[in-house]
Amino acid sequence: MRVAPVTGASSGIGRATAERLGRDGWRVLPLARRADRLEELAAKLGNARAVPADVTDEDAPARLREAAEQEGTLHLLVNNAGSVWRASFADGGAENVRRTMALDFDSVVRLTEALLPLLRHSAPSSIVNASSTAGRVALRKQGAYAASKFALTGCSEALRLEQRARGVHVGVVLPGFVATEGFSQQALMRRRLTRWAVSRPEKVAAAILAAGPSGKAERYVPRAYRLAPRTRMLLPGLFGEGSSASGRG
């Protein structure tokens, strides 16, 4: 039985991904803090086992590895759990960076380290890391989040190169705005000109499968967002990166 853990699976992108994998015949291990939601999801999927845990807990990697070994053969790891606490660096400081990195980057590294031996053993296999367009283009008051996603994107690219010869593919998904339980994106959805920029969790789930079992290196959601980093390089003024020198030496 092909096993696929999905972190952050109690809602949004994680839940949509777990449901998609379940329909495709995977043995899904949804992991998140909200045990009641995980149990409901596992019951709905049928072919799933809930793993209630906080990915930042010290024992989370060992618990997930044990569950994967008990349920079948690990062929896919989806690192999706994450959050954002919006604040300028002047307001949020080092503490906001620390807690964001702990969840959005450090936990991914720890889970990947614990499960990589199983993925190597079952190769061909895949890891998909849910980054963000903010992992290529930073925005104001999201410095901590961008730092974690830049780190995750870079680490994913290096790991892909390192593990390719071992049969473990590493893909990265870079969503833009996604309408979820915690982020309704109402302001963007109300305007016809910006409505296109908001995706649904199901679209990101499809991109995760493309970046994992289908072997794509990366996927932007929506696809047009792949132009953002190129545009920043060619036209930095559009991103507020024009010269701010005062002329005083």
Q: State the catalytic residues.
A: 145
CB neighbour list of residue 45: distance below 8 Å, 6 or more residues apart: 18, 19, 22, 28
Query: Residue 190 corresponds to which amino acid?
Result: R
In the structure encoding, which two tokens stand for residue 40, read together? 């409901």
In the structure encoding, which two tokens stand for residue 189, read together? 């959805």
> Rounded to whole angstroms, how far apart are CA atoms 102 and 144?
11
Peptide bond into 236 cis (omega under 30): no
> Rounded to whole angstroms, how far apart are CA atoms 175 and 131?
7
Angle formed at CA 69 by CA 63 and CA 74, multiple of 5 degrees: 105
Side-chain half-sphere exposure of 113, counting CA atoms within 13 A: 11
> Rounded to whole angstroms, how far apart are CA atoms 41 and 38?
5
Closest CA to 71 of 28, 123, 17, 119: 28
Residue 231: which H helix or E strand, with range?
Answer: helix 227-234
Strands (E), the chain: 2-7, 27-32, 51-52, 73-74, 76-79, 125-130, 168-175, 177-178, 198-199, 218-221
